[in-house]
Structure 1
Amino acid sequence: MSNSSSLTHFLLLAVTDRRELQLLHFWLFLAISLAALLANGLILSAVAWDHHLHTPRYFFLLNLSLTDLGCICTTVPKAMHNSLWDTTTISYMGCVFFLGAEYFLLTIMCYDRYVAICKPLHYGTLLGSRACAHMAAAAWATGFLNALLHTANTFSLPLCQGNALGQFFCEIPTILKLSCSQSYVRELGLIGVSDCLGFGCFVFIAFSYVQIFRAVLRIPSQQGRHKAFSTCLPHLTVVSLFVSTATFAYLKPPTMSSPSLDLALSVLYSVVPPALNPLIYSLRNQELKDAIRKMMTG
């Protein structure tokens, strides 16, 4: 196709052409988004309301809930709108990349667990209120800057392969496939920098958990080991789900690529974690469950 850089919108993937399945897709995404909004909203309210939860661990959880809300609100509503009204368009300004901040916050939350288990006597010093605020601000700023650079650079590329993304939300790799082959070298450089940063976070998380497991195994009592490990299990579950699905989606062999598989993987790493995070963190957390119960009963 001829150069199409003058276009003002992308075409998202139509999940199905059958009206019944489109409505089913709408109601499914509506249920997921409402559950995510309710659950994350309860966590935000409980952490802000109960002074017993004014600790570094729950401060970072509050920030993660805010990020989860942002992830849901930037992907799901447009997909619901398109399914309900049988459309596929999204404006350039409607494409927002938001997932970076969540990964950086998960890295900081890993550091919180590392200090709590491996250096408990220094917990108050290393994770004071000012240090926590600085780390959270750094995670948000890094995620915002990363998204801003990718957004500005990606949408400045001329499109030579039309404007059909073949995905239910805007993804950098799918946009690059539409750009002219001579024009995306700069964006590939930014992706390389982001990948190095993400890999550095992954190495830090892996190294921290090696130290955590070693410290837990040195605890003499079985009850103490179980209690220490249970505080890390929700975070480890969330990180594993997010990293495994995102890594497979971006690094899978081209021969395995198909519209249905790409759609399923995108939902797994962009929609499912924000919706499940509140459940994972509250399921085994008695303090959080008690705070929510007290808040709801007045």
Structure 2
Amino acid sequence: MTRIAIDTRWDGIAGIQRYSREVLPRLRTPWVSLGFDGDHLAPLDTLRGVPDVDLVYSPGYNAFIRAKRQLLTLHDLIQLESAWPARAKFLAYYRFVVRPVVRRTGIVLTVSETSKRAVEEWLGDDSVRVVNAGIGCSEAFRADIAPAEAPDPYVIYVGNLRFHKNLVTVLDALARVPDARLRALLPGGEHDDARRLFAERGIAERVDLLPRLDDEALAREYRGAAATVMPSTLEGFGLPALESVMTGTPVLYWRGCAAVAETADGRGTALDDARDVEAWAAAIRSSLASPARVAPPTTGYDWDATARIIDATLAETAAAGGR
């Protein structure tokens, strides 16, 4: 019997953490927890010894140099586009840790066709197979859910304050639309910085920071919004865009962000310039003045289907390592 150990430390409400939370319980392949604690992104974590198993799987990009074979999920390569000097450490990590691990294993997972192309180009190695396992969407995100109660129309943002998320452009735009309100779901640790950004633009009274929400509550927030703003300049997938359109709420996004454009697929307004504040202000103003609904995708986003692809890849990769 093949032996598979999974790093279960990716656990939370957003991004890779959410992916892990949805996928791991659905896997049918027998596996055990890697059994590690501590910060899975700590610099020395990659040097830890791992159990003597046929395969280690991580739902994210944290790699172990000493693992015989490790299957990673590279959701995107956004860190390689981060600003200096932070980019230097990521360039080193991906070159000297992630790439050798992926090449040694011969296969790597990702979540979209956009990311698949990016990973293939970055690897530059035709012997490595990049598998797009896709991504799912909770059944809570549906068009018939009751909208959240709100005294005034609003747009919603779900994400964080990282540079590539480009939230400051929307905040600058909001300052030019005096009657616009924003509801924002951000990590709790970023709330103080967010409040400072709001205050600097004189919009603090028109922005509501949402608490941590379960899927049902978040779906109601999307459903009640005139639009979801997603001004990202780079994404591996863009889960908020999918969740939004699944509730019938259009997305305002930059057409140059391929992953979000792939997910939104025209369900909303594609802006030509990611940082054109006037254009974002006009889009927000139009969404609030004339709220519209969009038809949700009917196929293609199923956590069970994603888990099945990962199951098959785990079995194939573990068996190859055991021969």
Q: Same fold (TM over 0.5)?
A: no
Which structure has more RCO (C-alpha within 8 Å, separation ≥ 6)? 1
Looking at secondary structure, tell me which structure has more helix per residue: 1
Range of TM-score over shorter length: under 0.3
Looking at secondary structure, tell me which structure has more strand per residue: 2
Provide the TM-score with structure 1 as the length reference.
Answer: 0.23
Provide the TM-score with structure 2 as the length reference.
Answer: 0.22
